[in-house]
Amino acid sequence: MRKGDFGWKWPFFGEFPSLFYHINTIHQSLTILFSRIGATAFVKGPCFANMDILGTVDPKNVHYIMSANFQNFQKGPGFKKIFDVLGDGIFNADFDLWKDQRKIAKTLITHHTFHKFLVKTSCDMVKNGLVPVLEFMAKEGIVFDLQDVFQRFTFDTTCILVTGFDPGSLSVDLNNIAFMKAMNDMGEVMVIRNLLPRCVWKLQKWLGIGPEKKLRDAREVIDRVIGKYITMKRDELRAKGKKLNKNEEEEGVDLLASYIANDDGETKTGLMFDDKFLRDTILNFMIAGRDTTSSGLTWFIWLVVTHPEIEKKIREELKSIISLGEEGEKPRLFKGGEFKNAIYLHAALCESLRLYPPVPFQLKTPQEPDVLPSGHRVHPKMRVMVILYAMGRMESVWGKDALEFKPERWISERGTVKHEPSYKFFSFNAGPRVCLGKEVAFTQMKAVAASIIHNYHVEMVKGHEVCPNVSIILYMKNGFKVRIRNR
């Protein structure tokens, strides 16, 4: 055996046995690895599986992959096979199909009617969904999983924003919802597929056993629920003559209604807004909005409550934007327009996303052989992985204090939010694929974070172990067990 970048190279299996040995601490292990050997490392996969991976935390490589030579680094057919449950949605799409979908999505997401709906929905869900649960937990002194509450909040909020319908997972009794469980099960199996050779999970799928059976059952629930939403929305709009009324234009409208209302049989791009297209679009938006935002909120609140001096600064800033006439209002909730001057809150959120990016890695497949700026050669039978978790902790990228939670690094000398290039701060992607939902995410996170920090004391249960899981989305492995009380 020979020593590789990540561990011993085994005959036939490459470095994957070493990789699996570190799997439970993979994020920390990769951070240590890149700090020790440099910004780019090669992992030799099993010789029969085309699973060689070049991992990088080098911003120059990220810029090259995501922007300068974007056309050569696509998701690739292998990615689409692993994530086949997402259909032809924007996450799976490459080339012209991706361009067409992104163009339509960008038009609808940036439209003023959706922005109004976003602000109204976020405020309503905090007031009528999140706060009643927090008030009940505070009154009863119950230990509960705040991560689970955030997942339910963002699940319901995203479903409303995308479809206009509330699945009702966020309530005092925290009931199990079949649609939410199916989405969770789907995510788990996607992780397993990424770790197994394709021939293994393909065999499980053909036999209908193991994780693949769980995915099949989850897909049936997902397709049934989304299909119901599409039918209900079509009927709702058909009754109105497929036009948005004046009240809807003033209060805003969900994305599904916008897609259907703008459907003239065939769009200028050639895309057909049939039920399959809408199904794939809804599912992709649900994943984009629900999982990432709840992950970001969980890590942010944990970082804030474990750094009392930062919590105090955020509270002082929030107090300064409240007019005197509203001081006695309890609980005091915040609206989107009030955050214009909440510079420190925004900086703290960016800092949290740097250290705990909701999507901890990104995979790309070269279409043609290429050479990265670091000098490493890549080819179509390997995957290139950007390790966001480790990149946010590199002294070579962020300085000697890279491991510190330090919101001040995001504030300029003029007191404004400092811009960092997206290929360095990669939490919202970079280049042509930069996240369309960045404003949506910040709007939701600020509304939730401000309401919690201003109105409540959050205390983590003594002895509770906080560590990241191994998943497509960076969650806390053991949840976030807390008690909460009114301030």
Instruction: Say how far apart CA 151 and CA 373 lie, in whole Å.
Output: 39
- Residue 463 domain flag: yes
Where helices occur in 141-209 by DSSP H, the ranges are 146-163, 178-195, 198-207
pLDDT of residue 95: 81
Number of Cβ within 10 Å of residue 389's Cβ equals: 21
- Residue 50 domain flag: no
CATH number of the structural domain spanning residue 237: 1.10.630.10
Instruction: Say how far apart CA 258 and CA 224 lie, in whole Å.
Output: 21
- Residue 48 domain flag: no
- Residue 44 domain flag: no
CB of 70 closer than 8 Å to CB of 431: yes
- Residue 445 domain flag: yes
CB of 197 closer than 8 Å to CB of 169: no
- pTM for the structure as a whole: 0.90
Instruction: Say how far apart CA 18 and CA 43 lie, in whole Å.
Output: 10
Count of domains in the chain?
Answer: 1
Looking at the DSSP assignment, which residues form a beta bridge with residue 42?
54
Dihedral pair phi/psi, residue 10, rounded to 5°: -90, 145
Say which residues have a Cβ less than 8 Å from residue 177's Cβ, sequence separation at least 6: 155, 167, 168, 169
7: left (phi over 0), alpha (psi -120 to 50) or beta: left
Q: Which of these, 219, 382, 387, 389, lies nearest to 299 by C-alpha position? A: 389
Angle between helices 178-195 and 146-163 (to 10 degrees): 100
Each residue's pLDDT, cut to its tens digit, for the chain (487 residues) gives: 455 565 555 555 556 666 666 677 888 988 998 998 889 988 876 666 667 889 999 999 999 999 999 999 988 788 888 889 999 988 888 888 888 999 999 999 988 889 889 889 998 999 999 999 999 999 999 999 999 999 999 999 999 999 999 999 999 888 888 999 999 899 888 878 877 778 888 999 999 999 999 999 999 999 999 999 999 999 988 887 766 665 666 678 899 999 998 776 555 556 788 999 999 999 999 988 888 999 999 999 999 999 999 999 999 999 998 864 455 567 888 877 788 889 999 999 999 999 999 999 998 999 999 999 999 999 998 889 999 999 999 999 999 999 999 999 999 999 999 999 999 999 999 999 899 889 889 999 999 999 999 999 999 999 999 999 888 889 999 999 999 999 8
- Residue 319 domain flag: yes
Radius of gyration of the chain (CA): 23
Half-sphere exposure of 7 (CA within 13 A, CB side): 18
pLDDT digits (tens, 9 = 90+) for 172-189: 888 888 999 999 899 888
Q: Is 467 annotated as a binding residue?
A: no
Determine the structural domain holding residue 259 and report its residue range.
69-359+427-486
